[in-house]
Chains A and B, each alone.
Chain A
Amino acid sequence: MYKVTNDENSVMLRRHRNRLSMSGMAMIIFSIWSVIRYTIIILQNKDDYNFHLDLDEGTPTTVKFIGYAILLLLTILFLTWGVLPTLLLGRAAIKVGKGKKKSVVYLVFTAIYIVISILPYAFGEVFEDNQNLILLIVTIILDITMFGACIDILYSGIKVRICEKRIAEKEDV
């Protein structure tokens, strides 16, 4: 009377949906890390910003306020550019992993994101600013983890699509 659905496709679908959800969560956690990292960088280089904005003790408060507001706006735009993609990718992966959404767009963006993220390493830009060695090491480790999560999203996302298609075909038959 009661039946289980333990055919190969259903089991694989569950497995890869679960992996997709977990990797999506990893992407969101990475986004949070990015915010923390950029905040640390900004706080570390506060004096440089004061120098570049030509702010000193004699500068009127209004000018200082405008200067910092512009800096803040630029920081937010920069963070948005850096953080928003991973947030949206992670969110999409989690939704697909929970079976609430069907999409391939996030897979395309994941592939693009991987390529963009590898470029700084390919051109050695990451290693140029090595003032804070610990931060550099942590960044590299987390970037590797992020690459792993992105690759897992790609792999599991494709597997989920294949399994869903096969199950749909069987149901049609």
Chain B
Amino acid sequence: MQIDFHYYATYAAAYIAGYSPKEAVDIAYSAFAVDVCSAQLLTKLGAPIVAATTQLQMELMEHHTDIVGLQNITRIWSSFHFLPRDLKAEYNGKCTKKYLRKYRLICGPNGELVRDTIENAKGSTLQAIGIAMHVLADTWAHMYFAGTPSLVINNTDKHLFELFPDGSEKRIAFKHNPVAADKPDEGAYTASIYQSNENNIMNLGHGRIGHLPDYGYCVYKYLPAWNDYKEVIKDNPSDYNKAFRQMVYALQYIRGDRDTFSLDTYAEEEVAPYADEIDKVIRTRKILICDEWKAFGEKLTNETIEDFDIKKYQSEYMDTSDKSNTFLGKFFDASIRHKSMVTNRIYKSGSKLAGISIEQDRTKATLEMVKNTLKVGDDNV
């Protein structure tokens, strides 16, 4: 998903769930900040690189795809943008262990990891809530793709058709010009070039299908590489509507208005008064529908929604010594915790694709042991 949903739609969902406009802005800011918090930004701020929640295109182009590099990529993308649906999934047929580990990273909604993400956000900061909303929303948009460079999972082919409500379908032929913008009216879209190397960056996430998963209006069918020549239909309007309702439901749970967070459950009643309007916004045939979502949010709250400004909290973070209590400090803390949780789950499932993970309390124990061995104070380790 893009800024239109992660920022403005999250704002609207937070307000409907019962948050104040100020809180909703903070949640929405954090939700979209996941898409801009790169190593480059963190370096500029003097913040821990481990808090990165995304990688810019240039960073990816220069990134090594050796084992360590792939683990770093997988850690970030699987944690924040392609949360695995089922780390215990079984492949229907025969496959190698290597393939199975990648197969289990396929993203999808209503998985155990989503529930863990939401439950961890409860009682936490607004920044953690925003990150959780980003992750939840992306499980709907990015389903059927994995957050690791993999040709055998993420590849598609020319069997790709946009479907229209009147029953017609039109083949989509991608252009591979990274600079050219998509033109929905002409049905002209771009995607990454085919690369036969399994671990090539072009095979990360939904690159092979371009930006189609991020367009709320688009309904299309295609052959995912992992699905053994079977078609899947990606009904974005339906999925985006469900994502919105699930966000409201999750936010109500986090606020304490609901006792439990159940999977496959949506805040239908709360969203019902706005359902038609939301659906109309989602189905707008444009690349970005910020204006539409913004108008909806402002009408909902009777307040102006400030545009996302990446520099908004940077001075606060850089000019203080108590960074952990700043807005960005809390965001980085929440991102590290979330990444750690997801990496740990992937590691516990028997896969080292996201690297090796140790439990936090064991980390403390290790730290204590090191301190005792070196006989140094807290400041030095």
B255 to A: closest C-beta gap in Å:
35
Answer whether residue A4 sits at the interface, using C-beta atoms and an 8 A cutoff.
Answer: yes
B229 touches A18 (CB 8 A): yes
B229 touches A4 (CB 8 A): no
Taking CB atoms, residues of chain A closer than 8 Å to B307 are: none
Answer whether residue A37 sits at the interface, using C-beta atoms and an 8 A cutoff.
Answer: no
Interchain CA distance A18-B223 in the complex, whole Å: 12
Answer whether residue A11 sits at the interface, using C-beta atoms and an 8 A cutoff.
Answer: yes
Answer whether residue A5 sits at the interface, using C-beta atoms and an 8 A cutoff.
Answer: yes
Answer whether residue A15 sits at the interface, using C-beta atoms and an 8 A cutoff.
Answer: yes
Answer whether residue B219 sits at the interface, using C-beta atoms and an 8 A cutoff.
Answer: yes
Query: Which secondary structure dominates chain A's binding surface?
Result: loop
Answer whether residue A6 sits at the interface, using C-beta atoms and an 8 A cutoff.
Answer: yes
A5 touches B165 (CB 8 A): no
Chain A minimum-CB-distance residue to B158 = A98
A11 touches B232 (CB 8 A): no
Taking CB atoms, residues of chain B closer than 8 Å to A15 are: 228-229
A4 touches B163 (CB 8 A): no
B221 touches A11 (CB 8 A): no
B233 touches A4 (CB 8 A): yes
Interchain CA distance A85-B217 in the complex, whole Å: 49
Interchain CA distance A2-B231 in the complex, whole Å: 12
Interchain CA distance A21-B230 in the complex, whole Å: 18
Taking CB atoms, residues of chain B closer than 8 Å to A1 are: 165
Taking CB atoms, residues of chain B closer than 8 Å to A11 are: 228-230
Chain B interface residue number, banded: 10 to 19
A4 touches B221 (CB 8 A): yes
Answer whether residue A14 sits at the interface, using C-beta atoms and an 8 A cutoff.
Answer: yes
Chain A minimum-CB-distance residue to B235 = A2
Taking CB atoms, residues of chain B closer than 8 Å to A4 are: 221, 230-233
B235 touches A6 (CB 8 A): no
Interface string of A1-27 (1 = CB under 8 A from B): 111111000011011001000000000
Interface string of A100-137 (1 = CB under 8 A from B): 00000000000000000000000000000000000000
Chain A interface residue number, banded: 10 to 19
Chain A minimum-CB-distance residue to B165 = A1
A5 touches B235 (CB 8 A): no
A14 touches B159 (CB 8 A): yes
Interchain CA distance A98-B157 in the complex, whole Å: 12
A2 touches B163 (CB 8 A): yes
B229 touches A14 (CB 8 A): yes
Q: In the complex, which residues 50-64 of chain A have their Cβ closer than 8 Å to any Cβ of chain B?
A: none
B195 to A: closest C-beta gap in Å:
17
A164 to B: closest C-beta gap in Å:
15
Taking CB atoms, residues of chain B closer than 8 Å to A2 are: 163, 219, 221, 233, 235
Interchain CA distance A11-B235 in the complex, whole Å: 21
Q: In the complex, which residues 74-94 of chain A have their Cβ closer than 8 Å to any Cβ of chain B?
A: none
Interface string of B215-248 (1 = CB under 8 A from A): 0000101010000111111010000000000000
B31 to A: closest C-beta gap in Å:
29
Interchain CA distance A12-B228 in the complex, whole Å: 10
Interchain CA distance A3-B167 in the complex, whole Å: 9
Chain A minimum-CB-distance residue to B157 = A18
Interchain CA distance A18-B228 in the complex, whole Å: 12
Interchain CA distance A1-B223 in the complex, whole Å: 19
Taking CB atoms, residues of chain A closer than 8 Å to B157 are: 18
Taking CB atoms, residues of chain A closer than 8 Å to B229 are: 11-12, 14-15, 18
Interchain CA distance A11-B163 in the complex, whole Å: 20
Which of A1, A2, A12 has the most C-beta atoms of chain B within 10 angstroms of its own C-beta? Answer: A2
Which of B221, B223, B230, B232 has the most C-beta atoms of chain A within 10 angstroms of its own C-beta? Answer: B230
Chain A minimum-CB-distance residue to B233 = A2
Taking CB atoms, residues of chain A closer than 8 Å to B232 are: 4
Chain A minimum-CB-distance residue to B228 = A11
A134 to B: closest C-beta gap in Å:
27
Interchain CA distance A4-B233 in the complex, whole Å: 7
CB < 8 Å: which of B159, B219, B231 contacts A6?
A: B231
Interface string of B156-179 (1 = CB under 8 A from A): 010100010100000000000000
Interchain CA distance A15-B142 in the complex, whole Å: 25
Taking CB atoms, residues of chain A closer than 8 Å to B230 are: 4, 6, 11
Chain B minimum-CB-distance residue to A3 = B233
Interchain CA distance A118-B230 in the complex, whole Å: 37
Chain A minimum-CB-distance residue to B219 = A2
Interchain CA distance A153-B159 in the complex, whole Å: 21
B223 touches A14 (CB 8 A): yes
5 examples of A-B residue contacts, CB within 8 angstroms:
A1-B165, A4-B233, A11-B230, A14-B159, A18-B229
Please list the residues of chain A having a beta carbon within 8 angstroms of any beta carbon in chain B.
1-6, 11-12, 14-15, 18
Known: A1-B165, A4-B230, A6-B231. 17 other contacts (CB 8 A): A2-B219, A2-B233, A2-B235, A3-B233, A4-B221, A4-B231, A4-B233, A6-B230, A11-B229, A12-B229, A14-B159, A14-B223, A14-B229, A15-B228, A15-B229, A18-B157, A18-B229
Complex A-B, nearest 9 residue pairs according to Cβ-Cβ distance, in ascending order: A4-B231, A14-B229, A6-B230, A15-B229, A11-B229, A2-B233, A2-B163, A4-B233, A11-B230
